[in-house]
Amino acid sequence: MISGPPTLTINEADEMLNRYNITVLLIVNEQHEPVGLISRLVAGKSIHLGLGNSPVSDYMTTDFATLPPTATLADIQELIIENRQRFIPVVKAGKVLGVITRTDLLHLLVNDPAHIPRRLLAGTDQPSTARNRNLTGLMAEVLNREIIVLLQTLGEVAQETGCHAYTVGGFVRDLLLHIKNLDLDVVIEGDGLAYAKKLGKKLGGRVRTHEKFGTAVVSLPDGLKIDIATARLEYYEYPAAMPTVELSSIKLDLYRRDFTINAMAIHLNPDTFGTLVDFFNCQNDLKDRQIRILHNLSFVEDPTRIFRAIRFEQRMGFKIGKHTEKLIKNAVKMELFDRFFGKRFFNELTSILSEENPIPAIHRMADLGLLRFLHPTLRIDPKLSTIMEETRQALAWHRLLYLDQPCRQWLVYLLALMTGLTTREVSAFCERFEVPLRHRQFLVREKLAVIRIAGIMKRAMPESPSGLYHLLKELSPEGLLHLMGITKKKSGKKAISLHVTEWSQLKPQTDGNDLEKMGYLPGPLYGTILRCLLNARLDGLVHDRATETVFIKEHFSLPDHDTAHGHP
């Protein structure tokens, strides 16, 4: 039996795989206990990515099943055929006695045809019957009729175009979870751009194409958007590189996906409409509520998948698989993020901060050692934990107001996370992660304003509503909620609350036309009068047009008529 220790380098493992012409190498510890498997595919890709001198323990698969010597043929079939584990260590009392491979099973079944399961005869490149059940009944249960008709139309256009269409990813995942999801991603085996143009013409939609990637977006008259992609594979020249794209099949297209729960598809062509495509046993991970990557170098190739794993885990109440978490920690140890700056990371961060409650995901990022890639000094200490919770409560309160006032939640949480950073450090963060200029300017401006206003409120908060109004009026809705999140005094929180709900909506009932009718001459005086009038309304000195008129006459004398017309 061929095996190697965990200290073996990937280069050495690759040499053994080629020397003995095997596809999987068993990794055992000093006690001859199985601790991992490394495939020729993973070894080859690792070397291509410049990781040949890394220990095999960094990228070997540790999530695998073993069988005892007493295992039956049915047990072997279940692991190799149902669970797609092509290599099974046979273990007794913790020690490896031997291995069973997929080839061993095939030889046995060929010699004993009575044991050949019908699904094995369908071909190894097709998903088994258990994984390609028809979902039309489930679609009718979860989706409305209009969406089902649209899906059927998508398949009919594919048939007319001479290609195969599949809906993939989150739509399929959520359907199996009995969740309605109208984000339609369609993968085409064939010419995706020609398909998109024909679909747009048939449905009266607007088509936007991206020739380089073979993708398109079809925008329908009712506002629904359909993302179209030509089936493709991606490969990476080095860790954290942008992917190189080539045309491919649905199987390889699904294999390039981030996680197993997003690597399923549904046939849309009329003759196979509603048939599930599950090559990688994804339904089991969905059933077990587990986030698992498809191959061991996934996070090395694209570290942003780490943040997507955390986001899915927290949003869906799933758990990152043990082996996947190990690979995350390995990617963090490699400090790939020091090479991987830019908008892809920033986009993933904003997606996390846009979740209904991103705090658990932020704590998970901290547990996995990821916050230091935002800034070396960033830590989740009791003070920051309190600020984050106060921020969450402030945002929840703001949502309940149903104000006609947009508020970008992710910016509020980002300001909260950066409470302990200087404006210079915030600017450096924005530069490092290619934050768009408008957001960069906004973050620095609001942070400076909040620091100044918080200092005033702490030292000598104005007592009058008008004084507080003028202190707070320069802040955006995001800045106000950030200020509420860091303010400890109840009086300060109340002032911000009143400003959002009442003071910011107030304005005098009197306007310039009224002032002219009263005899005041147009000019800078109008602005002075209206500002004083607003202060009087804020402080409760006037309540309606009548009391405003009295206030104006008491505080601003009318000009002399003759003087106003130039007479001495």
CATH code of the domain covering residue 424: 1.10.3090.10
pLDDT reported for residue 110: 54
Is there a single domain that holds both residue 84 and residue 207?
no
Q: What's residue 535's pLDDT?
A: 96
Total structural domains in the chain? Answer: 4
Where is pLDDT greater, at 400 or 75?
400
Specify if 368 maps to a domain: no
- 325 inside domain: no
State the pLDDT at residue 239.
Answer: 59
Residue 282 lies in a domain: yes
Do 111 and 146 sit in the same domain of this protein? no
Question: Angle CA(174)–CA(176)–CA(179) in degrees, nearest 5?
Answer: 40
Query: What's the pLDDT band for 76 if we cut at 50, 70, 90?
Result: confident
Query: What is the DSSP pairing of strand 225-230 with strand 184-189?
Result: parallel
What would the two tokens of residue 456 be?
């005033």
pLDDT, average across residues 545-554 = 94
- Do residues 523 and 491 both lie within one domain? no
- Quick one: which H or E segment has residue 428? helix 423-432
Does a structural domain hold residue 134?
Answer: yes
In a domain, 319, yes or no: no
In the prediction, which pLDDT does 2 show? Answer: 83
Q: What is the pLDDT of residues 506-546, one digit of tens each?
A: 999 999 999 999 999 999 999 999 999 999 999 999 999 99
pLDDT above 70 for 106: no
Domain that holds residue 483: 381-505
Per-residue pLDDT reduced to its tens digit, 152-167: 999 999 999 999 999 9
Residues 214 and 271 in one domain: yes
pTM: 0.77
- Domain assignment present for residue 31? The answer is yes
Q: Which of 228-237, 451-460, 475-484 has the lowest mean pLDDT?
A: 228-237
CA-to-CA distance for 377 and 419, rounded, in angstroms?
Answer: 12
pLDDT of residue 129: 40
Torsion of CA 200, 203, 204, 210, to 10 degrees: -20
pLDDT surpasses 80 at 83? no
Indicate whether 103 and 165 sit together in one domain. Answer: no
Rounded distance, CA 318 to CA 288, Å?
8
Instruction: Note whether residue 268 is domain-resident.
Output: yes
**Percent of the chain predicted with pLDDT > 90:** 69
How many Cβ atoms sit within 10 Å of the Cβ of residue 97?
A: 13
Q: What is the mean pLDDT of residues 113-137?
A: 53
520, 514 contact by CB (below 8 A): no
- In the predicted structure, residue 344 carries a pLDDT above the cut 90: no
Burial tier of 52 (Cβ tally within 10 Å: 0-12, 13-18, 19+):
middle
Is the domain of 140 the same as that of 260? yes
Smallest CA-to-CA distance from 450 within 489, 416, 424, 490 is with 416
User: 259 lies in a domain?
Assistant: yes
Indicate which CATH number applies to the domain containing 89. 3.10.580.10
- In angstroms, the CA 453 to CA 447 distance is 10
Residue whose C-alpha is closest to residue 393's, from 371, 373, 413: 413
270 and 158 belong to one structural domain: yes
